[in-house]
Amino acid sequence: MNKIVKNDTVKVMAGRDKGKTGKVITVFPKEKRALVEGVNYIKRHTRRSQKDPQGGIVTKESPINISSLMVVCKACNSPTKIGISKLSDGTKTRFCRKCNEIFSR
Task: Read off the pTM.
Answer: 0.84
- CATH architecture, domain defined by 9-103: Roll (2.30)
Per domain, the residue ranges of the chain are 9-103
Q: Are strands 82-86 and 92-96 parallel, antiparallel or unpaired?
A: antiparallel
Cβ-defined contacts of 81-84 (< 8 Å, 24+): 82/3, 82/4, 84/1, 84/3
- SS3 state of residue 76: coil
Are 36 and 70 spatial neighbours (Cβ–Cβ below 8 Å)?
no
Phi/psi of residue 8, each to 5°?
-75, 150
**For the segment 20-77, what is each residue's pLDDT rounded down to a tens digit?**
999 999 999 999 999 999 999 999 999 999 988 998 999 999 999 999 999 999 999 9
